[in-house]
Structure 1
C-alpha cells in the first residue's frame, strides 16, 4: 500500500497554514511554535532549520529529539477520525499536531493544550 502523501509533504509547506489558522483567531506564531516544540522536543533553532530544509513530515517526526510522553493524553476527533483509533504511528503524530493547532485556534488555554 502506498504511503499517504502527507508523509512526503514538507512541514514548511503546511506551517504557514497552522500560523494563519491561529492568527485568525487572535493567537500567535510563537504559540504555534511552542506547541510544535512541546510535541516534538525540537528547540526553536532546530525547528527553523527543519522549515528551511523543507523536511517532510515523516522525517520530521522520525528525527524528533524527544516526542512528548504526554501526547498520549491528546484525545478526540480530527478530520472525522478518532485519534485513539489511528494505528499508523506517523499519521497519529501528524494528527496530534493538527489537533493541538485546532485547540489553539478554538481559544483553549496553552496550559490545557500542553496537557499541564
Structure 2
C-alpha cells in the first residue's frame, strides 16, 4: 500500500469508527488501566477498550480484505509450487501483479 493511500485510509477509518460509536462512548474517557501485572489477555482486552485500540482494530477489517481481493479478482486460488521458498516467490509475484494493477488504476 502506498504511504499516502495508507494515511488517507487510516483517517477515513478513524472517522467511520467515530461515526459508528454512540455519542456517550465517543466522549467517554479511556477505561482505567489494569492494576499490577496484568495477564496478556487482560492487557489486550484493555487495549481494545481504548479509543485508539478500537480504531486500530477497525482498521484490521480493511487490511484483511485486500488479501481476499487478490484471491477473488485475480483468480489466485492455490499455490502451484511446493516448498516455503518457492511459495514465497510465487506470492511475491502475485502481490507484484496486484500492486501494478492498483498503481495503473490510481495513476489513470
TM-score, shorter chain, exceeding 0.5? no
Which structure has more relative contact order (CA 8 Å, sep 6+)? It is 1
* Rg comparison, structure with higher value: 2
TM-score, normalising length: structure 1: 0.27
